[in-house]
Amino acid sequence: MVEILRSAGEFTRLRLLALLSEGELSVKDLTEILDQSQPRVSRHLRLLTESGLITRHAEGAWAFFRLSDELESSALVQHILGRLDLEDELLVTDRQRLAAVRRDHQARATTFFAKVAKDWDRLRTLHAPDEAVEASIQQLLAGAHFDMFLDLGTGTGRMLELLADQFTKGIGLDASREMISVARTKFEKSGQKNVQVRLGDIGDLSEYRDSADFVMLHQVLHHFDDPGLALQNARLSLKPGGAIMVVDFMPHKLEFLREEQAHRRLGLSHVQMQAWARSARLEVMQSREIPHPGPDDGLTVCIWHLTDNSKN
């Protein structure tokens, strides 16, 4: 306790705690807001991390920090922050600079989407409407609540947003730094505090082994040469008795998607899904097809709900 109090008992570190109470931030963000050198800010962050008041997550050469989720640490931080004078001149300036940093994040996200919007919109016209797919997902999960939701290939974090009321903690992983940046900006803006988004390889989930009671693979498996192996990797992150939901295209003949959208598989069949599920010690409990409402060559989306059958 003495070490924890020593860690928090310095004004720059109090400023850091106040900023991180607003959401996850990178070293670069904090250096810019505090107008201090990177080594100095990193030293303060290291002390706060070692005390357990904040947590660190590395993404390549970048590092992101957030307040600890541990109940005792969280309660202590909230007590400390509750006694700060929020109208202190430096704290007010920090919040103003934080707002400027977030505006910059939003501008970068807008620029990225402007570049990909044409291809993005074209793909959406080829398959069942997102609204219909999302409504089916919500119907299949009606009444369910998860302690830990792991969204693999999260993209812009739409599934974390859609199911926000149905999990205590949600983590989204994606290999695209641009997509993660968009998702992070979205959740900064909405203030959704029970969500984290991470840059990561969903082929290596050792950090998340046995951590989730619900895993989502939304429009992900068709990007893999071996979807069965990707499903087995996802299975490793599942707690005993947990469930996986796969949302993907049914088999189709739109060959141009291989070149233009990096699709490795032109859809997934029920037979394939059954075989992959068995290999991963999962069972297909139910599935639902959502056809394209227009031309016959439109893409049908299917939702497969898989559960752990390792006890059988």
Which uninterrupted H or E stretch holds 148? strand 146-152
Most confident by average pLDDT, 48-52, 181-185, 243-247: 243-247
Output the average pLDDT for the chain.
87
Give the range among 26-40, 105-119, 192-206, 272-286 with minimum mean pLDDT.
105-119
The Cα–Cα gap between 308 and 277 comes to: 9
- pTM of the predicted model, to two decimals? 0.76
* pLDDT over 70 (residue 79): yes
What is the structure's pLDDT at 165? Answer: 94
Tell me how crowded residue 232 is: count the other CB atoms within 10 A of its CB.
Answer: 16
* pLDDT over 60 (residue 118): no
* pLDDT over 90 (residue 130): no
Q: Can you list the alpha helix ranges (DSSP code H) found in the chain?
A: 2-8, 11-20, 27-34, 38-51, 71-82, 89-126, 130-140, 158-162, 177-190, 227-236, 256-261, 270-279
pLDDT digits (tens, 9 = 90+) for 266-297: 889 999 999 899 989 999 999 999 988 776 66
Region 290-308 average pLDDT:
85
The Cα–Cα gap between 6 and 9 comes to: 5
Region 143-161 average pLDDT:
94
Q: Cβ distance 183 to 175 under 8 Å?
A: no
Tokens 């498996």 sit on residue: 221
Q: Which of 284, 157, 152 is nearest to 214 (CA)?
A: 152
**Tokens standing for residue 41:** 């800010």
**Across the strands, what pairs with 2?**
none
Comparison of pLDDT for 173 and 190, the residue scoring more = 173
